[in-house]
Chain A
Amino acid sequence: MDVILLQLLNGLDKGGAYALIALGLTLIFGTLGVVNFAHGALFMLGAFCAVSFNALLSLELVTIDPDKTTAWGTPLEIRTPYVEAYLGDFGAWLLNFSVPVSILLAIPVMLLVGFVMERGLIKHFYNRAHADQILVTFGLAIVLQEVVKSIFGANPIPQSAPETVRGAADIGAVLGFDPGVIVYPYWRMVYLGFAAVVIAAVFAFLQFTTFGMVVRAGMADRHTVGLLGINIERRFTIVFAIAAVVAGLAGVMYTPILPPDYHMGMDFLVLSFVVVVVGGMGSLPGAVAAGFLLGILQSFASMNEVKAILPGIDQIIIYLVAVVILLVRPRGLLGRRGVMES
């Protein structure tokens, strides 16, 4: 029982992450009709916003201790972070909370990245073939990740969650289990909550604002909306920027779980495409549903009991589910007819 409950938690947590990563991708598909292979790179850039913010905070005052030397004979440097030196306790607090606080940095940065990307590149590809879109965005993804690699190196860079949410919570005790049976890391629960909030915010934005209404109208029939004298292009720019921000935030908050490296975007790219397609191209609720479905099934497939019956099932479950769903439902869970079918 406890095993199943824990795997359900894992599944929800994974599902939240998958849905959050896929959300921006499906938004871009649905509105702009662009296959964005650079979406993983946006996720990675978000994560590196957190890394840079942390690095900025840990910029160090270097003083040289003349009495001691390093193993290779140069004088030993003593380092103290500037923020701690100048800001005292607040600096220490800031360093501790660097991951959540870097959201404040990531939002403007990702907005800018999204804006520049759409205006400078993607805009010119609206009417080009999907193959061209794939090639150009894939090229962009490689360039972005190589730039990050040349600055930060190829190794993962650890980011820690704030100290208060670093360990694991004994949630089983609350639910009436024996203590210590159902424990789950705080940060993963924070992530799940964060994912829920962001997803809800994006939905609300599209559902309840005039802007969202126009975008939804544009998704349904771009041509007519244009005829009505509405500048749909400009709204699309904003939609793209929002998608970039969502991907970036997903990246920021994921850093304590997965130490970021330059390649993490590519690692998530295929997965996010599978989630989006299983959900149905351009369908936001579909992407969320698919994210949770795949997350939960992946967790259960990894149970030793399941693997004993079907060896290797945990390796292929995501793809197997994708195949089955696409064969049963031609356009994924909630896809619309005619989107990305040609």
Chain B
Amino acid sequence: MATQTSPMRDYIFFAVFAVAVLTMPVWLEPIGAGYPDLLQKFAIFGLFATGFNLLFGLTGYLSFGHAAFLGVGSYTAVWTFKLLGMNPIPAAIMAVIASGLFALAIGYVSLRRSGIYFSILTLAFAQMSYNLAYSVLTPITNGETGLRVLQSDPRLFDGSTESDGPLLSNLFGIEMTGYAGFYFCAVVLLIGFFIAQRIFRSPFGIMLRAVKTNQNRMTYTGLNPRPYTLAAFVISGMYAGLAGALMCITDPLAGAERMQWTASGEIVLMTILGGAGTLLGPIFGAALIKYFENIFSAFNEQTLHEIFGFLPDWIEYPIVSVSSLFVGEGWHLTLGVLFMLIVIFLPGGLMEGIARIRKLFRRKPGKAEPSGAAAPAE
């Protein structure tokens, strides 16, 4: 799908994607994921992964500190709520600006190095942000407890109107929780996806791919790759900041652990799992990991017995005791096994799986599908 492109195909593709996203509450219901919080998480982390993919998928620069931008976006959003009011629009704008500036500073320094040296530089910056946010910067971040909006905050534009009740973000009266929150996130995701699609197709995107393919050759042709990669880094940092803002818009709390290296690692895993360098892959990867985190961790023996209750006892009990190793407190194990299986059998991530299934259905021996559809990440 990525190989044959025409503007028309892109628009159709986008339209299908948009419909699929907006109808998620309906078609995710049967697998137990059709509730607002998880749907919001799908949209938010889909956006985050899409942004991350703009850097990693296109340029090959593997940032291990993207969670820092998510955190900066979150803190900025909550501070905007605290100072200006509960409207999500200014919060999102401020978050994008702040994370963009933060990404500019970190990217300017880190992009002096490449490969794993770059990864470790970004990791170091993110870990510094996390450690400081958790401890010394507590007056700004509220440390372990997390930054929240309080009744006593000034909230310049709507501070006087409400005196009581929970403080939720609202877009001109529509509260950004539940399904309204999901649709807000979904619309932002669609905008972000559309921009990403445009970038993939643009000369700028081609330039970024050139950075990944052969930076030396690019330099020899007289092009300096740095401005391009820096631009990609900042854009992808802005996506992360926006995702962080959305987390606070749907749930006005910002915690430091959002910036920890495990959070950065998670977004890397999401992107690779789905298929780096593809448009849809990272979103699938994000959804899959979030689904496991929220649904698999919720199974307990009681629910397992309900699921396998139709079996005779002598089969039911062994099955329940074996499967209980993989759910509930063992959901990490399932995730680990899944990572290994996917990377062993589907080198291009989930998108390669989809490509292979499509090939099976197409079954036209003469027409060799170029495997570049889901090019493995470098």
Contact = CB atoms under 8 A, between A and B. Distances in A.
Interface stretch (B18-26, B171-179, B261-269, B293-301): B261-269
A124 interface: yes
A142 B135 contact: no
A322 B120 contact: yes
Interface string A299-342: 00000000000011001100110110011001110000000111
Contacts of B339: 135-136, 138-139, 142
B142 interface: no
B377 interface: yes
Given A132-B347, A340-B116, A316 B132 contact: yes
B378 interface: yes
Interface in B20-62: 56, 60, 62
B224 to A, nearest CB: 17
A134 interface: yes
A211 to B, nearest CB: 27
B126 to A, nearest CB: 9
A80 B302 CA distance: 38
B90 interface: no
A133 B250 CA distance: 35
A140 B136 contact: no
Given A128-B376, A341-B115, A342-B115, A142 B333 contact: yes
Contact of A330 (B113, B132, B337): B113
Contacts of B378: 129-131, 342
Nearest to B341: A139
Interface string B99-135: 0000000000100111111001101110110011001
A266 B332 CA distance: 13
A150 interface: yes
Interface string A246-284: 000000000000000000001000100110011001000
Interface in B254-288: 261-262, 265, 268-269, 272-273, 276
The residue among B261, B344, B376 with the most chain A CB atoms within 10 A of its own CB is B344
Contacts of A35: 116
A141 interface: yes
Interface centre among B272, B325, B343 (most CB of A within 10 A): B343
A132 B343 contact: yes
B336 interface: yes
Interface string A107-131: 0000000000000010010001111
A146 interface: yes
Given A35-B116, A315-B135, A322-B124, A131 B337 contact: no
Contact of A131 (B112, B117, B131, B276): B276
B335 interface: yes
B330 interface: yes
26 contacts: A130-B378, A131-B376, A131-B377, A132-B272, A132-B376, A135-B272, A135-B273, A135-B339, A136-B340, A139-B339, A141-B336, A143-B336, A143-B337, A146-B336, A150-B325, A270-B127, A270-B261, A277-B116, A277-B120, A315-B131, A316-B128, A316-B131, A322-B124, A323-B109, A326-B120, A342-B115
Interface of A: 35, 121, 124, 128-132, 134-136, 138-143, 145-147, 150, 266, 270, 273-274, 277-278, 281, 311-312, 315-316, 319-320, 322-323, 326-327, 330-332, 340-342
